[in-house]
Structure 1
Amino acid sequence: MLGPLRKRLRLTFAGESETIPAWETALEDGDDAGFFPPDSAVWAVHGSMSTIAAGIRALLTQALHPGVLAGVVDHSNYRADPLGRLAGTIRWIFTVTYGDTAAARAACAWVRGVHVPVTGTYVSPGGAHEQYSANDPALAEWVHIAFTDAFLRSYEAFHGPVPGGADRYVAEWATAGELMGVADPPRTEADLAERIRAYDAAGQLSGGPRVDEVVAFIRRPPLDPLLKPGYALLFGAVLDTLPPRHLELLGLSRPRLGPVPLPLAGAAKATLAVIGRALGPMAPSEAAARRRLVRLGVL
């Protein structure tokens, strides 16, 4: 019964339904243990099914910065090939998480290289025309903190407390921020929350028609029909994890049945559990990394 679901999930996340992508098995290679050990908070968070919900949350939050949004809308093919873009993002996350340090650095350098021609102008919330580059430290920081916040909050909401605490995950994943050109990524949960508030307090976040267009796409992406009901449920559950201010800018509201809020967290956990059963207990990328660590004598 889980076979058809497994095939569609693998095709959606990896671009292949029958075989393991070569980049995942290549994580068995390498000469060191990588930036994050198997008992790290990063392995715990990124190895859970909550990352699926976190991806939705990260995209919504990143869209609130008009400079980041301009780069996506003007330079990416997210509408024509959304699954390809998703597969590329997953490859970066898992390579940095599970690869050796050379593979992680190479993955980040490749992304930064792709970002070099991503330049242009956007209209700031104050009405000024601003120049942007996808590799600008300020834009890279917003992408990083939106990612960190999304993966942290989604794990807490749909899985449980982070092993070692939230501060541990934020501090560990700061390494990825540095590899992506962020000058001083947050290293505590409190610092992460303050950075997010500071962007809004400085008038750097906004909603509007461009945000509405992207939100509409994220809300109803062109998924396989078998996956659409579960995705819709996860999207609604993710809205429950967003702060009111971000919901306001996104033009969204928490799911309700009339005046009664819909408690979707339990249903979201059940959906993620089914996905986990379909995909198996361990991602091929993590399994490959563990084989490398055994070879190196780390495990």
Structure 2
Amino acid sequence: MANFLKTWQTELKRTLTGSADAVPEWVPLLADGHDAGYFLPGSATWAVHGSMSTIVAGIRALLMQALHPGALAGVYDHSHFREDPLGRLASTIRWIFTVTYGSTYAAQAASGWVLRIHEQVNGLYVDGHGVERNYSADDPELLRWVHIAFTDAFLSTHKIWGARIPGGPDEYVREWIQAGTLMGVRVLPASEREMRGMLDKWYDDGDLKFDARVKEVVDFLRRPPLHPSLMVGYRVLFAAAVATLEPKYRELLGLKKAHLGPIPLPAVTGTRIVLWVIHLALGKVGPSEMAARSRLKRLGLLP
């Protein structure tokens, strides 16, 4: 049992950070810098991104993002999500946590790095109306879809499995506008209601679609190449992500809430248990937050 738990903890860290034996090299760098960064302890952003619910949010966001054929084309044509899914996950986590916890310079540098990669991502896709279009990863409209899908996922899952958000859900949506701005996104929502309205417009206008590519991504997310010790917990988290989707998006993705025969499985309770276990394994405060607090103390912004 002890060996199993050690293996499980090691593989969990590898999956979420890309490093099994040590803190990733970029995390201690969050202690560097000469200002507070964009967000502080007590902010809505720190509350949401410091929650274990972000693990479920990541799955939900990827499911939602796959529904926009322009956004999906960039991932499908240019990323290595099949060969190195954990590497892509680790890169996304690095950017989110650097913007959340890093100095202004670190957040801007991390965003610039992503934008330089985006310069090489372009091609053709068929939109939801059957029209062939050009796509580019730095297209503000596609970036807006990705930003809102992430924001919606973080907020939706935190409202179920997280603690109180300082200032409420609208404050989180407003604060996280900064991340979109760093990525060159325009016309961002400033409230939860406005965000839902933007999502609904994409749906109502017929811009989203399900096809063979989406099915491949959904199947991949349903059964990713994780270590066997993680798969039981992951199945619970995937079921939770599906359960949090609005029915119309769940139906469009061809997904249903988890059932055992006619009996619905308790995804919310099961996920609360899985996230609690992960919380125990990773520690009460994540290394990114600890590095940020070290910088803030050095600057005299924390006691």
Cα drift, residue 4 of structure 1: 2.8
Residue from 227, 230, 243 that aligns with 1:227: 230
Q: How many percent identity over aligned positions?
A: 55
Cα drift, residue 107 of structure 1: 0.6
Aligned to 1:281: 284
Residue from 37, 44, 48 that aligns with 1:45: 48
Aligned to 1:182: 185
Moved more, 207-216 or 5-14: 5-14
Q: 1:29 and 2:13 equivalent?
A: no
Aligned to 1:260: 263
Residue from 63, 76, 82 that aligns with 1:73: 76
1:87-102 equivalences in 2 (<5 Å)? 87-102=90-105
Residues 103-155 of structure 1, C-alpha deviations (whole Å, 9 max, x = no match): 00111111011011100110111110011101100000000000000000011
Residues 252-277 of structure 1, C-alpha deviations (whole Å, 9 max, x = no match): 11112333322210110110000000
Query: Structure 2 CA distance, aligned partners of 1:229 and 1:7?
Result: 16
RMSD between aligned alpha carbons? 1.0
Moved more, 145-154 or 8-17: 8-17
1:137-286 equivalences in 2 (<5 Å)? 137-286=140-289
Unpaired runs of at least 5, structure 1: none
Query: Structure 2 CA distance, aligned partners of 1:162 and 1:258?
Result: 37
Moved more, 259-268 or 183-192: 259-268
Moved more, 2-11 or 35-44: 2-11
Residue from 114, 119, 123 that aligns with 1:120: 123
Unpaired runs of at least 5, structure 2: none
- Residue 165 of structure 1 aligns with an amino acid whose one-letter code is G
- Residue 206 of structure 1 aligns with an amino acid whose one-letter code is K
Query: Structure 1 CA distance, aligned partners of 2:298 and 2:102?
Result: 14
SS at match of 1:226: helix
Moved more, 138-147 or 121-130: 121-130
Which TM-score applies when normalising by structure 1? 0.98
Cα drift, residue 10 of structure 1: 1.1
- Residue 131 of structure 2 aligns with an amino acid whose one-letter code is A
Residue from 16, 19, 22 that aligns with 1:16: 19
SS at match of 2:147: helix
Residues 31-55 of structure 1, C-alpha deviations (whole Å, 9 max, x = no match): 1000001110110111111110000
Cα drift, residue 159 of structure 1: 2.0
Query: Structure 2 CA distance, aligned partners of 1:203 and 1:139?
Result: 15
Q: Which runs of 4+ in 1 moved over 4 A?
A: none
Residues 18-71 of structure 1, C-alpha deviations (whole Å, 9 max, x = no match): 111120000000010000011101101111111100000000000010000000
Moved more, 64-73 or 157-166: 157-166
Q: Tell me the number of residue pairs that the alignment of Structure 1 and Structure 2 aligns.
A: 299
SS at match of 1:227: helix
Cα drift, residue 157 of structure 1: 1.4
Query: Structure 2 CA distance, aligned partners of 1:137 and 1:123?
Result: 18
Query: Structure 2 CA distance, aligned partners of 1:117 and 1:234?
Result: 33
Cα drift, residue 160 of structure 1: 4.0
Query: Structure 2 CA distance, aligned partners of 1:164 and 1:226?
Result: 38
Moved more, 240-249 or 161-170: 161-170
SS at match of 1:298: coil
